[in-house]
Amino acid sequence: MATTFYSQIGANKRNSVLLAVLVTLILGVLGLFIGWALFGDPRAAIPSTITAIGLGLLASLVSYFAGDSLVLATSGAREIGPDDLPQLHNVVQEMALAAGVPMPKVYLIDDTAPNAFATGRDPQHASVAITTGLLQKLDREELQGVMAHELSHVRNYDIRFSLMVGVLVGSVALLADFFLRFTFWGGGRRSRRDSSEGGGGLQIVVFLVAIALAILAPIAARLVQLAVSRQREYLADASGVELTRNPYGLERALAKITLDTEPLEAANRATQHLYFDNPIKAATGESLGLFSTHPAALDRINRLRQLSGEASVADPRLVLDAGEMQAELGRQALRPS
């Protein structure tokens, strides 16, 4: 039975919300144990817990208003108008109308690696950035699939969501790093000495748990962030099909981009989760596995094929071969007999 994109959207939204709550809980638990370890009293740790969560939320508010400008600047993107690339603007406008969102600003990244991303805090303040390689290597139908995917991110508020989760993950890392540095420079030794003098065996255990959490929490939070990113990619794929009513263009775009191993020079670890496909996969080997920012392209392709009730494929090249066969049949049908 074919899986409907409505069921995929519902499942991914529920999973993503649960993962965001988990990141916040990690931040709160880390703040609790650090405060308990430093002050020797769980009641004294309540302010540190509230502060830990509050700092993460404050950082999210700052990134909410300035994050998109920073991402575009670090990516080397320049804004272009309708007269610069009319076909690109036409495709973006088509997909924006289908998604029911305002026309976003369009940016171009001068790089031959095919990729794209969307950014902005909401549909009224959205931008899409496309590499020159994407325009050179994809046909119009495939470009529509990619733009439908990116504008689905805009319509579904994925960019705001992933940005806030990313900042919370950074807050976990900063808090853990502060505690470990404080411990290394003597604060932890004084805390253990005070506990020993007062016979606080429990305090020593709490302190050791806090150290373990400070080491493990950033890793756990990072895994949560990556899981959120992967779930959002599945959601945007399903939503993109809803906009185009054509999974084949998106399937072929995924196949072409994943088979192109050229890394995107403007991308980095802080921005790679925003892109249509992992832009530094060829340089790092992180296109698969637990620490990948994106699901495997073949998995995404096969989920799209489920939407139309088609059999899964074992290699992205088979999607391109089938697409070329369909194109040839279409050309033959147009020829005079």
State if pTM tops 0.85. no
Residue 112 has a pLDDT of: 94
Assign 249 a pLDDT band (cuts: 50, 70, 90). Answer: very high
Residue 67 pLDDT greater than 90, yes or no: no
Q: Is residue 279 part of a domain?
A: yes
Q: Sort strands 126-131 and 105-109 into parallel, antiparallel or unpaired.
A: parallel
**In which region does residue 192 sit, left (phi positive, over 0), alpha (psi from -120 to 50) or beta (all else)?**
alpha
Assign 12 a pLDDT band (cuts: 50, 70, 90). Answer: low
Q: Is residue 264 part of a domain?
A: yes
Q: Is residue 131 part of a domain?
A: yes
CA distance 248 to 319: 8
Residue 323 has a pLDDT of: 55
Q: Is residue 323 part of a domain?
A: no
* Catalytic (active site) residue 150: yes
Instruction: Point out the catalytic residue in the list 79, 94, 150, 310.
Output: 150
pLDDT digits (tens, 9 = 90+) for 141-164: 999 999 999 999 999 888 877 767
Number of structural domains (the chain) is 1
CA distance 109 to 115: 9
Residue type, 321: D
Q: Is residue 252 part of a domain?
A: yes
Residue 56 has a pLDDT of: 74
Q: Is residue 156 part of a domain?
A: yes
pLDDT digits (tens, 9 = 90+) for 271-319: 888 899 988 764 444 445 666 778 899 999 999 998 888 899 999 998 8
Asked whether 79 and 31 are in contact (CB, 8 A), the reply is no
Domain membership of residue 176 as a residue range:
5-307
Q: Is residue 314 part of a domain?
A: no
Q: Is residue 166 part of a domain?
A: yes
Residue range 2-24: mean pLDDT, rounded: 66
